[in-house]
Amino acid sequence: MQAIIDVPREYFALDHVDSMYIMDGKEAAEYPLVYVNLFDRGREAEDRIAKAITKHVHHAGYENVDVIFTILERSRYYENGEHF
Q: Say whether pLDDT at 29 is over 90.
A: no
Our count of domains for the chain comes to 1
The CATH number for 65's domain is 3.30.429.10
3 state SS of 60? coil
3 state SS of 9? helix
Q: How much is the pLDDT for 18?
A: 87
Cβ atoms of 4 and 45 closer than 8 Å: yes
56-81 tens-digit pLDDT: 999 999 999 999 999 999 999 999 99
Q: Which domain holds residue 20?
A: 2-83
Q: What percent of the chain has a predicted confidence (pLDDT) above 90? A: 80
Look at 54 and 18; give whichever has higher pLDDT.
54
Task: Give the count of beta carbons closer than 10 Å to the beta carbon of residue 46.
Answer: 18
Q: What percent of the chain has a predicted confidence (pLDDT) above 70? A: 100
